[in-house]
Structure 1
């Protein structure tokens, strides 16, 4: 999968995608939406203000992918708290920050994933030669956010924590069951990098 983004006049970006590539990105974006879940108050159709005033969770998500997508604001993996009191203070600040920001973060990630799905759906029907996806500047930024989230999610599932882990992925044998996910991870990384380059051009 060698597609890469190229700049368009006016700050947009374009990429040629074949039918398989479109299907993979769309499927991953749908899975990301399912993982993030509906917004707060989604079941409260009688009260349209329910989502607006709903507070977010105060505890980190149980799923490691969601913990990566919505990390604690006051934790530092490089530095442990000096005392139990300081640890308790960090937890209190993190809970408060999460309560008032996570809903908006989730909404933004949902919108980015939906933008990807809508853009791909607008390409249909796709012939054997594929299609050229053209994004305006704002759409490009949404795609960049979604590609980043997809890579974080896949990287977490693959237990990638540093650059050495990424190097090992290139040497996985073809029979390794992680190989398809690794290929998607590396391919999305290439797409993300070329999209960043177009936005900086």
Structure 2
């Protein structure tokens, strides 16, 4: 089971993680939470129902990693100069990005909480057991982590990770590449546990 998720009877998944792996996953998830931001909480005394209908941003994020996590719904309107597509993208973003940010925060928080609970057992490493719902949160967070790291590493879809495998150990990107590839393996095996 080391390094790969396995299906649990009745749904869910399990993976054996050592102390270092737990630390890395937690650290990356916390960094993801910091990147996404705290979100808009309703002001004290404000109607929570009104907060549900609050409009979000209409412009894409300037940070490339955030732009990858929150892409334009209609492609990249800035690149093709289509004013109508730009308006459609802004409108879509305005009404969906807050909910998407909340979901991504919830996914990353679920990872942090499950790792904290695992670390609280006092064992150096342990077997993390996830319910079916927790597995979906983990899958979302692993995907977001890979997208973020891949953006920082300038990984292109056509790359297929070939060059990443051949980086010399002296390359300063090597630790992030190793994390990127490891997260991909975790994500792949978690997907396999969710398939019927």
Give the TM-score band, short-chain normalised: over 0.9
1:44 aligned residue: 43
The size of the alignment, in residue pairs, is: 192
1:31 aligned residue: 31
Structure 1 residues 168 and 155: CA distance shift in structure 2, 3 A: same
Unaligned runs of 5+ in 1: none
Most deviating of 117-126 and 53-62: 117-126
Deviation at 1:3, TM superposition (A): 0.9
Unaligned runs of 5+ in 2: none
1:192 to 183, 187, 194: 187
Structure 2 Cα separation of the partners of residues 27 and 170 of structure 1: 23
TM-score by length of 2: 0.92
In the alignment, does 2:144 pair up with 1:149? Answer: yes
In the alignment, does 2:61 pair up with 1:61? Answer: yes
Moved over 4 A (4+): none
2:121 to 102, 108, 125: 125
2:171 aligned residue: 176
In the alignment, does 2:17 pair up with 1:20? Answer: no
Quote the RMSD (CA, aligned, Å). 1.7
Partners of 2:57 and 2:97 within 8 A in 1? yes
Deviation at 1:96, TM superposition (A): 0.1
